[in-house]
Structure 1
Amino acid sequence: MRLNEDFLHYIWQYRLLTRLDLYCTDGAKLEIIDTGSPNTHAGPDFSSARLRIAGTLWAGNVEIHVKASEWLLHHHQQDRLYDTVILHVVYEDDAVICRTDGSLIPVLLLKDLIPDDMLQRYRSLLDGRSFFPCAGQISQADPAIIRKVLDTMAAERLAEKSAELEVLMVKNKYNWNETFHQLLIRNFGFKVNTIPFELLAAELPATLLGRHRNQALQIEALLFGQAGFLEGDFVDSYPRQLQAEYVFLRKKYQLVPLDPSLWKFLRMHPQNFPVLRIAQLAGMLTGNTPAIPDILAAGKLPSLISLFTPVSVHPYWKDHSHFDKICKPMELRLGRKSVDILIINVVCVILYHYGGYFGIPEIRQRSVSFLKSIPAEDNGVVRKYKAAGLKLKSASDSQAILQLHKNYCATKKCLNCAVGIDIVTKRDSI
């Protein structure tokens, strides 16, 4: 396994070396006064370090590589920004490195300075073939550390989603209702059909659908027609009614339907087919459509659940999996898990962003409280972590796991995670 540079950064930052009497490769005595601050921007890895080399005090930057030759691979020898480097920290010293003026840069070789047990534990994480690096050890990790990580990741995920929502807000010129409308419809795709639902929302804005909110047939015609599902000849009277209605509305609003091939049906239960999701969405958008004021007024979770449980889904879908295709009778209303997903990905994100935008911390806190009131999600990623022994109490925890996996575990950034640090540095782990 090729050693990860993140590990060397961690070793340097926290001075986790086997001895204090250090020497550069040229024999000069090295005293670390301050390792410097990690640099997240362009330039050397650590800035404002203070070192004493051969009795002389130096202030400047530190660059870290697994192999010294990586300096050349990254073309630092041509960048005057790296002339400020006062120490090159490497695991293997396989090249002579100079500044642009030809002066040699002192080198600290880490190969024999890293505790063997720590290196072994870190390698076991990176070499593991489990779904996530610490799957075999996380059940023995300190529960207090796990809780801290979950809370941190949940907050990070909300902040990340809020930043993404801000992009949509700017696009919509800060029209909160339109932004909510688009976010709601997009999430009716429940991940598998997110993109076509997003395209559907873009073509059918809130103002357009709002003109027909009291005419269920027209709402259904607009949604099914724009989705591309009303092309061709039908036997049943219901799709023929929708088709006739859509012909009129399409001409009125100059609409161009989506390509129906965008929608995914494969390996799905009819209950999750996009046509039923569209029928459920139509039921939600008919009559008392959920809007920003409703969400702000909902102080308790049951109030939110009632907002996202449509009661006017057309009975045709009770025993049809598609137009002209009969199936076994099924439930028309959105299931509780589906409603929970909409609250997690729509309501909580909107509330968090709204509270931040208007400086109302109580509304932000309400989004966090809702997440903690909803049961943990059940999906492929969450199940893997549960199987490893992790106990997840709520949607806040399952959202935290999704964030942790995407940004840290999947990229093996174990030393950016308190659980990974605990496993690597704890003497009694493994």
Structure 2
Amino acid sequence: MKPFVDPLCPESLLQFIWLSGRFNMEGLATVSGEPLEIIHPGQLNRHAGPDFSAAQIRIGPLLWAGNVEVHYRSSDWRRHGHQYNPLYDRVILHVVFEHDGPEIGIPVLELQPRIPKFLLRRYRALMDSADELPCSRLLARVPDGLWEQWQTRLTAQRMERKAAVFTGWLQQTRANWEEVCLRAVASCFGMPVNTEAFRTLIAATPFSVMARQRHSLFGLEALLFGQAGLLPEHPADDYPRRLLDEYRFLRRKYQLMPMAPHDWHWLRMRPSSFPTMRVACLAALLHKEPHLFSAMLDRPGARELAALFTAAPSGYWDNHYRFDVPSVRTAAMGRQSVQALLVNAVGPLLHAYGAWLRNGALQERGMALWRALEPEDNRIMRGWRKEAVIARSAAGSQGLTELRQQYCDEKKCLECRVGKELLGFEGGVNGRVGEAAWQGWDGEGEEDDW
């Protein structure tokens, strides 16, 4: 058996080649010489077992229906132990890039001499690219229509991904949308580095206890700062001393367990993003709107929602960023922070609630909110702008974020419409779509070499 080497055509690529018919189909035959006709390549199986199910293959005079397994070499069948696995008993065809024997009693189709070499070069160029975006030098040549369709789909995919998180919280809260809303909003108060810390804070603080304190901003601050572990043990200022006394009372009354102070991050962030400032702003918001989710549903547009989620903390924070450390001037959550909350919490919450109620209009409100907001300005968006890819709204920037995080960073080019376009998979069976974009990529021609 040959030693394993990094394959020229990995199985993921071979699966796409098989499914799309991106190989020379003239005179197909098994390695033993039997004529072969592909009636249907089957359906890709993402679970345990053979790679494709429900395939229909004519081999010689017989029409077979069953499964298809794909490997780089035919010897991989034994190397993977498929001969001992009953899930592979209904395999009717073994599709391989390179046939290295021996026969195992299942017809084998070797694709190596039938796959265009330029396709393998394209794929290898994308996988070996050191650029943050593997296809960055080719993006300008992708058709505008494809870009628009793909970004629309990515935006919807991003919305569904975010909304699914909130839907999952429903089981933990016994379908309490007010509590789900609080969790979502608090997570955004910690963005980007203290998201998990804020989630821990809300998980450690019973929702019913917070509800009892919402009539008093002082009570909410005492509860949240105490549960966050952010109150100093020996405060110098009068205000944190009174907060500490109040929290000790609340802790005994409700048998609370605070977080560890080291769960919070402080380095390399603006003072307005310090955990103390964000906890103070969260307390102010919960005091301002005792029923935040209901108030959110009543606000029709982006401007009204932005006003809803803007709340000034108590007076102590007019000249402090941290307890006992005076500051000449302070600033609470700014416009960009509120927009991030609308994008990451409010829009997906509306979508998730609409899906839960099976209310399409409410779901669309979440997407309409994204379209009404300005595009985000962050590291990912700055990277796209370098490639002359511009988002015109938060919907566009969320779609591009989805593309970068779920496809580009993972080099899932075979699952990306742009990647498949450049590789030629979007042009139909044996198409050559995207070929012009590769001229000059590696100095090689694009001759039709098989």
Normalised to the residue count of structure 2, the TM-score between the two structures is 0.90
Identity %: 37
Alignment of 1:105-144 (within 5 A): 105-144=106-145
Is the Cα contact below 8 Å between 1:37 and 1:49 reproduced in 2?
yes
Give the corresponding residue for 1:93.
99
Q: CA deviation at 1:93?
A: 2.0
Residue number in structure 2 paired with 1:246:
247
Taking the TM superposition and a 5 Å limit, the aligned residue runs for 1:408-423 are 408-423=407-422
Aligned 1:263-342 pairs, distance under 5 A: 263-289=264-290, 291-311=292-312, 313-332=313-332, 334-342=333-341
SS at match of 2:55: strand
Q: Which residue of 2 aligns with 1:101?
A: none
The match for 1:199 is 200
Amino acid paired to 1:16: R
Check whether the contact 1:290–1:308 (CA below 8 A) recurs between aligned residues.
no
1:329 counterpart letter in structure 2: R
CA distance in 1, matches of 2:153, 2:302: 23
Name structure 2 gaps, 5 residues minimum.
1-5, 425-433, 439-450
Question: What pairs up with 1:61-100 in 2 under 5 angstroms?
Answer: 61-96=67-102, 98=104
1:278-332 per-position Cα deviation (integer Å, ceiling 9, x unaligned): 1111111113345222121111111100111003x12322332311223452322
Q: Note if contact 1:372-1:394 (Cα within 8 Å) is conserved in structure 2.
A: yes
1:372 counterpart residue number:
371
Q: Does 1:57 align with 2:63?
A: yes
Structure 1's 328 and 73: CA in aligned 2 closer, same or farther, altered over 3 A? farther
CA pair 249-97 structure 1, distance change in 2 beyond 3 A: farther
Find the counterpart in structure 2 of residue 228 from structure 1.
229
CA contact (8 A) 1:90 1:108 kept: yes
State the distance in 2 between where 1:195 and 1:231 align. 22
Question: Aligned partners of 1:321 and 1:60: how far apart in 2?
Answer: 67
1:429 and 2:430 are equivalent in the alignment: no
- Runs of 4+ residues deviating >3 angstroms: none
Q: Output the CA distance in 2 between the equivalents of 1:197 and 1:176.
A: 18
Letter in 1 for 2:24: T
User: Following TM superposition, by how much is the alpha carbon of 1:96 offset from its aligned partner in structure 2, in angstroms?
Assistant: 2.7
Q: Would the alpha carbon gap of residues 262 and 412 (structure 1) be closer, same or farther in structure 2, given more than 3 Å must change?
A: same
Normalized against structure 1, the TM-score is what?
Answer: 0.94
Report the CA distance shift for 1:141/1:202 in structure 2 as closer, same or farther (over 3 A). same
Q: Partner letter of residue 338 of structure 2? A: V
SS in 2 for 1:16: coil
Distance 1:159 1:250 in 2: 38
- Find the counterpart in structure 1 of residue 27 from structure 2: 21
Report the Cα distance in structure 1 between the residues aligned to 2:310 and 2:201, rounded to whole angstroms: 21
Deviates more, 1:377-386 or 1:367-376: 377-386
The amino acid of 1:323's aligned partner reads F
How many residue pairs are counted as aligned between the two chains? Answer: 423
**Matched residues in 2 for 1:138 and 1:5: separation?**
26
- Sort the Cα spacing of 1:389 and 1:68 in 2 relative to 1 into closer, same or farther, 3 A: farther
Alignment match, 2:162: 161
Where 2:436 maps in the other structure, the secondary structure is coil
Q: Secondary structure at the match of 2:388?
A: coil
Question: d(CA) in 2 for partners of 1:115 and 1:135?
Answer: 23
* Structure 2 CA distance for partners of 1:309 and 1:105, relative to 1, 3 Å: same
Conservation of the 8 A alpha-carbon contact between 1:135 and 1:385? no
Structure 1 position 225, deviation (Å): 0.9
Q: Is the 8 A contact 1:372 1:396 kept in 2?
A: yes
For 1:62, the aligned partner's letter is V
Aligned to 2:48: 42
Cα displacement string for residues 227-249 of structure 1 (whole angstroms, at most 9, x for unaligned residues):
10114212122211211221111
How far does residue 74 in structure 1 lie from its aligned partner after superposition?
Answer: 2.8
SS in 2 for 1:211: helix
